[in-house]
Amino acid sequence: MASRLSLSEDAYVPSGAQQTAVKILIVGHFAVGKTTLIGSLSEITPLSTEERMTTLSERVDDLKGVQGKTTTTVALDFGRLTLSERVVLYLFGSPGQQRFVSLWDDTARGALGALVLVDPERLADSFDVMDLVESYGLDFAVAINHFDGSTFHTPEEVREALDLLPDTPVVTIDARDEKSSVDALITLVRYLHERADLEHA
Ligand SMILES: Nc1nc2c(ncn2[C@@H]2O[C@H](COP(=O)(O)OP(=O)(O)OP(=O)(O)O)[C@@H](O)[C@H]2O)c(=O)[nH]1
Ligand SMILES: [Mg+2]
């Protein structure tokens, strides 16, 4: 398979490494675009566990601002992305809704890090997810998924609003666009590599 690399792999692959399979979580609150992102970049047909939402779930699922949404992920999304001959990412998307949080124990096991998707119009909804990611000790990068018609917020505004650490990467993406989604994952993997280097220094 042709390399999709748009940054030098030396920036994040240890020299001499053989092919490395890396488990990455794609997380974020309800309806932020997790299934869309995995679908836009996976080189295998993504496994998706979408179910129709019924009127019964109206009381538990906050549909504010996402009225057009008719399905939701009930177990996980799964996809694969070969970044280079040496790095293959296995992507696990976790359901965004609180009632599925119990699945995280299984999904998070063995993960190297997480890409946290945030909707700039619903920033407050991201705190629970970031708390969860941190409680599993996972390093993460933040991807701002801009929806059509939403107010543009710069990465610095989002960093401040979410009270992120200065070195946490923040990128802007369109989850429907393969290139921007791949770039976000490269940013995350490079960050995880830098963190691992620091730990072993
Ligand atoms: N305009 C626009 N729509 C998007 C974008 N990303 C996702 N969508 C739409 O937003 C809706 C929700 O996206 P999903 O990918 O299902 O969100 P999710 O985070 O997987 O949702 P849950 O699994 O239910 O938590 C879908 O209708 C997408 O087509 C985007 O960047 N721009
Ligand atoms: Mg989903």
> Domain holding 47: CATH number?
3.40.50.300
Residue 3 resides in a domain: no
What's the first-to-final CA gap in the chain, in angstroms? 34
d(CA 74, CA 93): 10
Q: Does the residue 163 lie in any domain?
A: yes
176 CB less than 6 Å from ligand 1? yes
User: What is the spatial distance between Cα 157 and Cα 141, in angstroms, rounded to a whole number?
Assistant: 15
> What's the gap between Cα 157 and its chain centre?
19
Say how far apart CA 138 and CA 130 lie, in whole Å: 10
Q: Quote the CA–CA distance of 70 and 87 in Å, as a whole number.
A: 35
Domain for residue 13, yes or no? no
Indicate if the pLDDT at residue 149 is higher than 80: yes
122 lines ligand 1 (CB under 6 A): no
Q: How far apart are CA 49 and CA 28, in angstroms?
A: 16
SS3 state of residue 67: coil
How many A from CA of 34 to the centre of ligand 1?
A: 7
> Is the separation of the CB atoms in 44 and 79 below 8 Å?
yes
Structure confidence by residue, pLDDT tens digits, 5-64? 556 666 666 677 677 899 999 999 989 999 999 999 999 988 878 788 776 565 556 666
Confidence of residue 182 (pLDDT cuts 50, 70, 90): very high
**122 with 62: CB under 8 angstroms?**
no
Number of domains in the chain: 1
Can you give the residue range of the structural domain that contains 82?
A: 20-200
Closest ligand 1 atom to residue 30 Cα is 25
pTM of this structure: 0.86
Do the domain assignments include residue 79? yes
Answer whether 174 contacts ligand 1 (Cβ < 6 A): yes
Indicate whether residue 99 lines ligand 1 (CB < 6 A): no
Best mutation site among 26, 36, 38, 62 for ligand 1 pocket (most ligand atoms within 8 Å of CB) = 36
Tell me whether residue 36 is in a domain.
yes
- Beta carbons of 150 and 120 less than 8 angstroms apart: yes
Residue 1 falls inside a structural domain: no
> pLDDT tens-digit profile of 78-112?
999 999 888 899 999 987 667 777 888 888 899 99
In a domain, 142, yes or no: yes
| Domain annotation covers residue 11 | no
